[in-house]
Structure 1
Amino acid sequence: MGCGASSAIPTTRIVTSSSSSKNENERRTRTNITDIIQNFFLAWLDGNIDRSSQDYSNSIKNLQRTVNTIESFQDTDECIKYLSQFQNEKAFLIVSGALCETVVPRVHPMDQIFSIYVFCRKTEKYEEWTKNWSKVKGIYTNIAVLCDSIRQSARQCDEDSVTISGTSSSVDQIEPSFMYAKLFKEILFKIEFNNEKEIKNLAEYVRPKYAGNDEQLEIIDEFARDYQVELTLTSPGDDKNLNVLTQLMRKEITGTGWERMGLLLYKMGENEKAEQVYTLLIEQAPNDAIRSTLHNNIGAVYDNMGEYSKALAFYERSLEINKIALPANHPLLATSYNNIGAVHRNMGEYSKPLAFYEQSLEINKIALPANHPLLATSYNNIGAVYGDMGEYSKALASYAQSLEIHKVALPPNHPDLAIDYNNIGMVYDNVGEYSKSLAFYERSLEINKIALPANHALLAISYNNIGLVYDHMAEYSKALASYERSLEIYKIVLPPNHPGLATTYNNIGAVYRSMGEYSKALTSYERSLEIYKITLPANHPLLAISYNNIGAVYRSMGEYSKALASYEPSLEILKIALSPTHPDIAGSYNNIGFVYYSIGQYSEALEYYEKAQQILKVSLPVTHPHFADLKGKIELVKQKL
């Protein structure tokens, strides 16, 4: 059994609905939602600040016209701790002259600090000193001037977050966030509200974000009362390669304005924000078709977040609605079957997904052209199930069909191609062809870097799987570097108990074990098991992997009774969850056999080794390294009998 958990990526489908006819007298407006585009916050550090004074109150009101979230501090360490907790927002810092020389060197390297302002009475004292710190924008004695400077910086920061400069002719050289920003602005500027209830719902949705900011709350109330303006969008950038990908993404992101917003957030990995948008929409869905779509899409968001029982409930509700409203071979039924199969697979219920995926494929074959991307989705997901079952030749054949369709239907740097390359790489890794595996994984990573935001979860999967190959090739420093990069991304984009984090902790533990650092390995494995116990069903195969790997550490430490106590529950779970000939069951038999050999119980060791050998004969090619390893063990134990 391998120490790591390589992830084939099932493709879950998120769909859009057709909107009802529009009222010709609709009024449209551009609303100020920079809080969604870019989150700003401001910290004000002054050891002598007087929060009860009128000057302080007036200053805060002035600043809140630009930055909604403002916190004031008298203690330096408390302020720095506050700044450190934010990773994806941008911060402005106002610091008093008395503290600037000690505070600025500590906070200047922080990525979240966008600009710093020194507020004091004596400008000449610090003028020369500020030249050493690029983020210090100036020394201010007047609060109104200071507010104007912050307003200019906020505008610049906001523009930086949604535009890009340069004349590169290659999509490989363009920041991927540009494409998403471009689509985001198109959606944002075209959102239309069909009735007063929608306007009221939006106002109520954003009001909590501005609690305590009377001026912004007044603007929201004004918006709810009077909603009208027309918008035009200028589209920057003429890069042909980028535009091909952007145009395709634009076709994928269809529907009403807010539906498109939810879908774009989903594609960017912003799951919680997407869920908020879809939940808001489902309360006002005008018909069953849109209601079904929104149930499906909320299910997809929960699936991404690792909340599989919630995902399944929403997918099944979507299917119920579609069965009533649609003909038997409608493509949306195929989508429902596909997504239910995907969530069952994520829950480790490998006997269920194949039937759902095949039902989805049969509908799509009837309803769609031969090279339609949704057929590729079905082949991809069927391949994932065969991989889970250890039927690697069938898995490879299905993944290859998915790849061929995508090559015809999609541009060369589309994220779905990255999924195909990843999954083919996984099969080659599982059968021991590591150089081929690495080539496919690296191609997948290359595409994802071009097509996705910098901290997207699919990038974390790519780094994880590259780490696995290096681990199998015994290049442990490279493996550890890849796993740690994966973990960094997951910590940013996933909830703290998501299975993806557990997988990466598991794989880091595997490297430490291979390097002989057993205490570090045990810590990582136990953290992985802790997360899996919270998020997964009791008989999920990933729990078996955790128990197996904890057993491996104890075995390496010579604590054989503890090793056996971990290996045995691992085997029992695998017997329930996997097919009888799955290679992971062979790995479990092998590990238990090794423990019995180590404590001198040779007949028991031979029994388990031979069980492992029988499975490998039907599940892996004879050239796989596990065969030679197991043959040597059997010969050795026979010499002891």
Structure 2
Amino acid sequence: MTTNNSTTVLPRPLRRILQNFCLIWLDTDFDESKENYKTSIQHLRHVVATITTFTDADQCVDFLSDIEDEKVLMIVSNALGQHIVPEIQALPQLHSIYVFCDNQSIHQQWTKTIPKVKGVYTQIEPICEVLQIDRRNCDRGMISISFNRIDPLFMYTQLLKEALLEIEDDDTKSIKELVEYCRLHSDAADKTLKMIEKEYRNHTPIWWYTGPYFIYSMLNHGLRLMDIDIILKMGFFIRHLHQHIADLHREQQNSKAAMPSKFQVFRGQGLSMEAFEKMKKTKGGLMSFNNFLSTSRNREISLESFARPAAFDADSVGILFIMNIDTAICTASSTPFVNVKDIGFYDDKEEEILFSTHTIFRIDRIERIEDKHTDRLWQVNLILAGNQYDDFNKLTAHLRAEHSSATGWARLGSILFKLGEPSKAEHLYRLLLERTSSDADRANYNLQLGSVYTDIGEYSKAITFYERAINIYKKMNPPSQLNLATAYNNIGVVYKNMGEYSKALSSYERALEIRRIALPPNHPDLAASYNNIGSVYYNMGEYSKALSSYERAFDIDKKALPPNHPTLAPD
């Protein structure tokens, strides 16, 4: 394995994969100090942001086997390929293989039987051309999609969008931090990084997003995995891109070039078998594309360039989405889109229509496309849904209200926690704690970290962070009463989980005392306090006191919550 150049495998977490794919190059003779290898790497850095080179086959296979969340594009040199490729070809994370050699005729015969081998090459430039196509297909096939009916977790993905878009950072500082982060964690060409740092404001966000740079892939990778480091570094760009789409949407729809009131767009891509089965079970329900969504007015390009090739990938099915768009729904549900002609980086051969993030559709029909070469090519008809459904609006509004006390990055952490991602929430809060100089923020981040540690069962850490929060809240002028109540309530949760019921009851009663003064009589937080006190009495065997507390909680919940709220659902 190489040890003397920037493409070396570095120990994690120092070295991270920033896109939906990475490039591995296995060559027993690799030495970047030699001119031919140095030139090849320079070409590759203009295509992919993460390049990892190996001279040892066993180390390469170990590294490849450990990758779970990304696709791997692999260059293998000369005779080594004939021995290693048959052993690794079935790995689902391995997307494409490129044999790089001095003599094509020697390798063309054995590679014919391995579908993942895209070709045998004697020059690096043709590999780069194919890599451009394959990296794009990886990005399209790995877009984050949520399938659900009216479900709280599905609603939370919509709140994630709102949280990301309301964050305001220092743009100059953010651009510099993004470039520094990419220098540390990627092999992106230094020329590209300098260009972003010096020329970001010279071009539009859509130009950057549609250009031949790593921004598109890195952003979609971060949103797909909810990678907190990437989202923190690219938060400014998410906001800029959305605002650019929204502004141009208004401008274009008020012009002579406005889209018809109803029209169709298309999107071809691969979809994993697991995701396809989930989609079929959700027929008639809602689905959300949780990234910025590139579509096309051109059905033929979407089918032939993207959907059909994906059908021949052993690990996926080819999908042609046909999306029926009603501009009235776009306006009513704040779902902006823009025609990127004359705005994007490239000539618009695809007739691209770009939607902002987290666009919601209803799944209409799922039908097989007849093809004599494959039975894994499907057409999925979608109808733009926006957020026009009454149940959707009511539940989303209530969940939004539950997070109204937090704003910006803190709100994002709160939603991640609710989505069952405590480790990501912890990572975010610790990063925020290091960055802030505000007492109010420090108290809130300590409070949230206490909640995270409670959730994962690290109770002593939880109490430590809650007490830090309480100490800060008490010193604030005026004291933050409701946050104090939350901290006392959460300490009660910890003591109850530890079986120390008298301490739990004391903390719960302190929280209730504050809330009764500060809140209206039918506030859900009062119901939560009564429920918590009831649960402690129940565990202490004082059943009449427990029943009384539970009844007071239920009376408040019936008045305060929408009828489809999970709290009111029967067991």
Normalising by the smaller structure, the TM-score range is: 0.5 to 0.7
Offset at 1:146? 2.5
2:440 counterpart of 1:289: yes
Paired residue type of 1:321:
I
Tell me if the contact between 2:522 and 2:556 (Cα under 8 Å) persists in the aligned partners: yes
Structure 1 residues 371 and 193, CA, compared in 2 at 3 Å: closer, same or farther?
A: same
Tell me if the contact between 2:76 and 2:98 (Cα under 8 Å) persists in the aligned partners: yes
Give the SS at the match of 1:352.
helix
Offset at 1:376? 4.4
Can you list the C-alpha shifts for 1:139-182, whole angstroms capped at 9, x where unaligned? Answer: 444423333433444444444444439xx88347x9x6x76665
Question: Corresponding residue for 1:299?
Answer: 450
Offset at 1:335? 0.9
* Mapped partners of 1:186, 1:157: distance in 2: 27
Question: Corresponding residue for 2:514?
Answer: 363
Greater shift, 315-324 or 210-219, is seen at 210-219
Greater shift, 342-351 or 356-365, is seen at 342-351
* Mapped partners of 1:353, 1:227: distance in 2: 57
Question: Corresponding residue for 1:259?
Answer: 410
Question: Unpaired runs of 5+ in structure 1?
Answer: 1-34, 425-439, 441-641
Give the SS at the match of 2:145.
coil
Which of 461, 476, 481 is the equivalent residue of 1:325? Answer: 476
Question: Corresponding residue for 2:525?
Answer: 374
2:61 counterpart of 1:84: no
Question: Corresponding residue for 1:170?
Answer: 149
Structure 1 residues 253 and 299, CA, compared in 2 at 3 Å: closer, same or farther?
A: same
Tell me if the contact between 1:210 and 1:216 (Cα under 8 Å) persists in the aligned partners: no
Structure 1 residues 269 and 170, CA, compared in 2 at 3 Å: closer, same or farther?
A: closer
Structure 1 residues 41 and 129, CA, compared in 2 at 3 Å: closer, same or farther?
A: same
2:203 counterpart of 1:193: no
Question: Corresponding residue for 1:337?
Answer: 488
Question: Corresponding residue for 2:56?
Answer: 75
Greater shift, 354-363 or 331-340, is seen at 354-363
Question: Corresponding residue for 2:340?
Answer: none
Tell me if the contact between 1:253 and 1:263 (Cα under 8 Å) persists in the aligned partners: yes
Structure 1 residues 222 and 405, CA, compared in 2 at 3 Å: closer, same or farther?
A: farther
Give TM-score scaled by structure 1 length. 0.48
Structure 1 residues 52 and 217, CA, compared in 2 at 3 Å: closer, same or farther?
A: same
Structure 1 residues 227 and 297, CA, compared in 2 at 3 Å: closer, same or farther?
A: farther
Give the SS at the match of 2:73.
strand
* Mapped partners of 1:343, 1:381: distance in 2: 12
* Mapped partners of 2:88, 2:498: distance in 1: 43
Structure 1 residues 59 and 36, CA, compared in 2 at 3 Å: closer, same or farther?
A: closer
Identity of aligned residues (%): 46
Q: Which protein, 1 or 2, shows the higher relative CO under an 8 Å CA cutoff with sep ≥ 6? A: 1
Paired residue type of 2:359:
P
Structure 1 residues 73 and 309, CA, compared in 2 at 3 Å: closer, same or farther?
A: same
Can you list the C-alpha shifts for 1:371-416, whole angstroms capped at 9, x where unaligned? Answer: 54433443454455456556688778867876786677567886x6
* Mapped partners of 2:196, 2:459: distance in 1: 36
* Mapped partners of 1:361, 1:412: distance in 2: 25
* Mapped partners of 1:242, 1:100: distance in 2: 53
* Mapped partners of 1:405, 1:42: distance in 2: 57
Offset at 1:337? 0.9
Question: Corresponding residue for 1:55?
Answer: 36
Question: Corresponding residue for 1:231?
Answer: 241
2:128 counterpart of 1:147: yes
Paired residue type of 1:298:
L
* Mapped partners of 2:432, 2:129: distance in 1: 38
Of Structure 1 and Structure 2, which has the larger fraction of its residues in strand?
2
Question: Corresponding residue for 1:41?
Answer: 22
Greater shift, 41-50 or 216-225, is seen at 216-225
2:221 counterpart of 1:98: no
Tell me if the contact between 1:190 and 1:231 (Cα under 8 Å) persists in the aligned partners: no
Tell me if the contact between 2:175 and 2:197 (Cα under 8 Å) persists in the aligned partners: no
Give the SS at the match of 1:72.
strand
Can you list the C-alpha shifts for 1:62-121, whole angstroms capped at 9, x where unaligned? Answer: 434454333222333221211222333443333346344554454344343344444345
Tell me if the contact between 1:187 and 1:260 (Cα under 8 Å) persists in the aligned partners: yes
Give TM-score scaled by structure 2 length. 0.53
Paired residue type of 2:124:
I
Give the SS at the match of 1:231.
helix
Give the SS at the match of 1:316.
helix
Offset at 1:226? 9.0
Paired residue type of 2:149:
S
Of Structure 1 and Structure 2, which has the larger fraction of its residues in helix?
1
Paired residue type of 1:95:
V
* Mapped partners of 2:561, 2:135: distance in 1: 38
Structure 1 residues 106 and 359, CA, compared in 2 at 3 Å: closer, same or farther?
A: farther
* Mapped partners of 1:100, 1:321: distance in 2: 61
Which of 505, 519, 531 is the equivalent residue of 1:354? Answer: 505
* Mapped partners of 1:122, 1:373: distance in 2: 73
2:100 counterpart of 1:119: yes
Paired residue type of 1:91:
V
Tell me if the contact between 2:25 and 2:54 (Cα under 8 Å) persists in the aligned partners: yes
Instruction: Trace 1:378-389 onto structure 2 (pairs within 5 A).
Output: 378-382=529-533, 385-386=536-537, 389=540
Can you list the C-alpha shifts for 1:231-257, whole angstroms capped at 9, x where unaligned? Answer: 335251116366655555445455543
* Mapped partners of 1:412, 1:92: distance in 2: 50
* Mapped partners of 1:41, 1:186: distance in 2: 30
Question: Corresponding residue for 1:606?
Answer: none
* Mapped partners of 2:422, 2:87: distance in 1: 33
Paired residue type of 2:41:
I
Q: How many residues align?
A: 381
Which of 444, 459, 466 is the equivalent residue of 1:315? Answer: 466
Offset at 1:338? 1.5
* Mapped partners of 2:487, 2:423: distance in 1: 22
2:209 counterpart of 1:209: no
Structure 1 residues 405 and 81, CA, compared in 2 at 3 Å: closer, same or farther?
A: farther
Q: Which structure is larger by alpha-carbon Rg, 1 or 2?
A: 1
Tell me if the contact between 1:200 and 1:224 (Cα under 8 Å) persists in the aligned partners: no
Paired residue type of 1:209:
H
Question: Corresponding residue for 2:301?
Answer: none
Question: Unpaired runs of 5+ in structure 2?
Answer: 1-15, 206-239, 246-355, 361-384
Structure 1 residues 215 and 124, CA, compared in 2 at 3 Å: closer, same or farther?
A: same
Tell me if the contact between 2:48 and 2:188 (Cα under 8 Å) persists in the aligned partners: no
Question: Corresponding residue for 1:545?
Answer: none
Tell me if the contact between 1:162 and 1:182 (Cα under 8 Å) persists in the aligned partners: no
Give the SS at the match of 1:258.
helix
* Mapped partners of 1:250, 1:379: distance in 2: 23
Structure 1 residues 194 and 133, CA, compared in 2 at 3 Å: closer, same or farther?
A: same
Give the SS at the match of 1:344.
helix
* Mapped partners of 2:359, 2:530: distance in 1: 37
Paired residue type of 1:59:
S
* Mapped partners of 1:134, 1:373: distance in 2: 58
Can you list the C-alpha shifts for 1:216-239, whole angstroms capped at 9, x where unaligned? Answer: 654675489999964335251116
Tell me if the contact between 2:512 and 2:529 (Cα under 8 Å) persists in the aligned partners: yes
Structure 1 residues 385 and 257, CA, compared in 2 at 3 Å: closer, same or farther?
A: same
The two structures, once aligned, show a CA RMSD in angstroms of: 4.6
